[in-house]
C-alpha cells in the first residue's frame, strides 16, 4: 500500500510539474542586434559617432599645432632664443593636448554609458510589454544561453516593436 501511495504521489507530482512546464513560455533576444537594427539604436549610434568625430577633429587640430611647433624646433635656421620660446609653447601645447584628450575620452565614455543605459531601459520596457502581451514567462539574453532553438528568438519582433515605440524623427 505504501509503495502504491508513493508511486501515486510521484505520478501526481510529475503531472503537476509537466503541466507547469507546459505553461512555461521562453524566449531569447540579442541586444546587439536590437542596437544595430532598431531605429533608436541606430540614432544613438549616429549621435555617439558624431560626437566622437567632433572630438577627434579637435584632437587632430591640436596634434597639428604641436607638429608645427615641433618642426620649428628642429629647424636649424631659427635662433636659439626663438626656439626657447617655442619650446615653452610646445610643452604647454603638449600638456593641454594630453589634458584635452583625457577629458574627451572620459566624456565620450560617460556619454556612451548614459546613452546605452537609456537604450537598455527602453529595450527592457519594450521586451517586458511584448513578453506580457504574448504570454512569455521568461526572456533571456541569447549570449547567456548555451543552446536555444531558433524559434525562441524574438529579436526581430522586438526590433519591430522598438521601431513602433521609438520611430525617430
How do residues 124-143 score in pLDDT, each as one tens digit? 999 999 999 999 999 999 99
- Mean of the pLDDT values across residues 38-55? 96
- Provide the pLDDT confidence category of residue 2 given band limits of 50, 70 and 90: very low
Q: How far is Cα 164 from Cα 116, in angstroms, rounded to an integer?
A: 19
Return the H-helix or E-strand segment holding 128: helix 80-134
d(CA 168, CA 38): 10
Fold (CATH) for 24-165: Protein Binding, DinI Protein; Chain A (3.30.910)
pTM for this predicted structure: 0.75
- pLDDT of 164 reads 96
Asked if pLDDT for residue 1 goes beyond 50, the answer is: no
Amino acid at each position: 500500500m505504501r509503495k502504491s501511495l508513493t508511486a501515486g504521489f510521484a505520478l501526481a507530482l510529475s503531472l503537476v510539474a509537466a503541466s507547469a512546464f507546459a505553461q512555461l513560455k521562453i524566449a531569447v533576444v540579442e541586444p546587439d542586434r536590437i542596437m544595430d537594427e532598431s531605429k533608436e539604436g541606430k540614432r544613438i549610434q549616429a549621435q555617439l559617432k558624431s560626437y566622437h568625430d567632433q572630438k577627434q577633429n579637435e584632437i587632430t587640430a591640436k596634434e597639428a599645432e604641436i607638429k608645427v611647433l615641433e618642426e620649428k624646433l628642429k629647424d636649424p635656421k631659427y635662433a636659439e632664443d626663438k626656439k626657447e620660446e617655442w619650446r615653452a609653447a610646445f610643452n604647454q601645447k603638449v600638456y593641454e593636448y594630453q589634458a584635452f584628450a583625457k577629458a574627451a575620452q572620459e566624456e565620450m565614455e560617460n556619454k556612451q554609458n548614459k546613452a546605452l543605459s537609456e537604450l537598455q531601459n527602453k529595450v527592457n520596457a519594450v521586451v517586458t510589454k511584448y513578453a506580457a502581451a504574448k504570454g512569455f514567462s521568461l526572456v533571456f539574453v541569447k549570449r547567456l544561453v548555451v543552446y536555444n532553438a531558433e524559434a525562441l528568438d524574438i529579436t526581430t519582433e522586438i526590433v519591430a516593436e522598438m521601431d513602433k515605440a521609438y520611430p525617430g524623427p
